[in-house]
Amino acid sequence: MVDIHPAVRKLQEAFPALTLDVKVFREEVSVTVPRKEILEICRFLYTDPDLQYQFLTDLCGLDFFPEHPRFEVVYLLTSMRKNQRLRLKAKVEEGESVSSVESVWKAANWLEREVYDLFGIPFEKHPDLRRILLWDGFEGHPLRKDYPVEGPDFDKPFVPEV
């Protein structure tokens, strides 16, 4: 493997049974990990004294419709002590859910709500999983690739009920 990112090496040592798919593009390291292990892995990366990924920079979703598995949840971690970045990815099929990492980083609270809102990926054990940018009665998840940019009802007249 070309990669010598310390976090990847450490991860492989700590979880020998896992197959990690490592990609490097423009010096950025992305590691695809099994969906079921994400919480364990995040906790390990957070606590390991050599890594200390204590800052969750970003958490977002990707939709690869019509491929299977359809979604990816992307975690961008930063270790302020070591000044390193690492991107974690977990593949998620439609209807499946991902463990919330809110117990590791509080920052995940709103970020996961946003992914749930715009992609419809549910997070297990999230303390407050509600829509965040759109209102509660909204139908659909706009950042999915099969959601039209104009909205599903752009050509229908809007008549409010009185």
Partner 1 sequence: MAETRFMTINMGPQHPATHGVLRLVLELDGEVIVKAVPHIGHLHRGVEKLAESKTYHQVIPLTDRLDYTNAMGNNLAYVLAVEKLLGIEVPERAQCLRVMMAELQRIAAHLIWLGTHALDIGAMTLLFYNFREREDILRIFEEVAGGRLTPTYLRIGGVSKDLPDGMGEKIRSFVEAFPARMKEYETLLTKNVIWLQRTKDVGIISKEDVINWGVTGPTLRGSGVKWDVRKAVPYSGYETFDFDIPTGSIGDVYDRYTVRLREMEWSNSIVKQALDRLPKGPVLASDPHVVLPAKEDVQKDIAALIRQFKIASEGFYPPRGEVYASVESAKGELGFYIVSDGSNHPFRVRIRPPSFLNLSALPKMVEGRLIADVISIIGSIDIVLGEIDR
Closer to partner 1 by CB, 149 or 159: give it: 149
- Terminal-residue alpha carbon distance, the chain: 65
Nearest-angstrom CA–CA distance, 137 and 140? 10
Residue 1 makes contact with partner 1 by CB under 8 A? no
- The Cβ-side half-sphere exposure at 57, using a 13 Å CA radius, reads 13
Nearest-angstrom CA–CA distance, 53 and 78? 5
Beta carbons of 6 and 29 less than 8 angstroms apart: no
Draw the binding track, 121-140, toward partner 1 (x: CB under 8 A; -: no contact).
----------xxxxx-----
Residue 76 makes contact with partner 1 by CB under 8 A? yes
From the CB of 17, what's the least distance to partner 1, in Å? 27
Query: Which residues here bind partner 1, judged by CB under 8 A?
Result: 25-26, 28, 30, 54-58, 60, 62-63, 74, 76, 80, 83, 85, 87, 105-107, 109-111, 114, 118, 131-135, 142-143, 147, 149
